Chains A and B, each alone.
Chain A
């Protein structure tokens, strides 16, 4: 158990819909990262927040957005969903958001039908 929690564990929805994935970092960690893992693209960095502020952006689509709240939990919003958005979405956290260890949550498996 990494100490990072993600909800829901599984999500099935239809194309065109919008979903919200939630992540609670480890106690004391200020930085949250979001990743997408699919069979064809592998594990890809989407976005990072540190203490409520966006710190780094990766391959995140414009249809996707994220935020980190004052209590440090984070949400990833996926809208206008397409079949290709089906993937595992991981949240990770670290203390300061530098090169220290990132602890990954168990992931949310999203299936878009």
Chain B
């Protein structure tokens, strides 16, 4: 059983569409991170959210941390083929140990 549940597991959309990926848990995390991983490479950190209710924007990407610090979402506006990849959320526990979700595979078709 995953401590962090990500949904959906797979998403295939057309260029220009919007999408939201969810990361949910019954546990509280001191912080939550979102990563993107491309085939043959390691994950790359996109954002860290620390405060409950926090919203961070990174160009077309909007990240939100739930008020209770148990869940998070990633919203992409006007998706582009370059957004294709595996999106992972990770929660920090026991200091700096990261617990990862299973990931959401995003495919954006042109």
Task: Give residues in A with beta carbon < 8 Å to B.
Answer: 2, 4, 42-45, 48, 56, 58, 90, 92, 97-99, 101-107
Contacts and interface: CB of A to CB of B under 8 A. Distances in A.
Nearest to A101: B45
B48 A42 contact: no
Interface string B28-55: 0011000000001111110010000000
Contact of A2 (B30, B40, B42): B42
B44 A56 contact: no
B2 A104 contact: no
Interface string B1-40: 0100000000000000000000000000011000000001
Given A42-B2, A56-B94, A56-B95, A102 B100 contact: no
A104 B44 contact: yes
Nearest to A102: B45
Closest CB pairs A-B (n = 7): A104-B42, A43-B100, A42-B102, A90-B42, A104-B43, A101-B45, A99-B96
Contacts of A42: 2, 100-103
Contacts of B31: 99
Give the contact-size bracket for chain B. 20 to 34
Nearest to B92: A99
B99 interface: yes
Contacts of A103: 45
Interface of B: 2, 30-31, 40-45, 48, 88, 90, 92, 94-103
11 contacts: A43-B90, A45-B100, A56-B95, A90-B42, A98-B95, A99-B96, A103-B45, A106-B40, A106-B41, A106-B42, A107-B40
Contacts of A101: 45, 48
Contacts of A58: 97
A101 B44 CA distance: 9
A60 B88 CA distance: 21
Contacts of A48: 96-97
Of the candidates A2, A4, A43, A102, the one having the most CB atoms from chain B within 10 angstroms of its own CB is A43
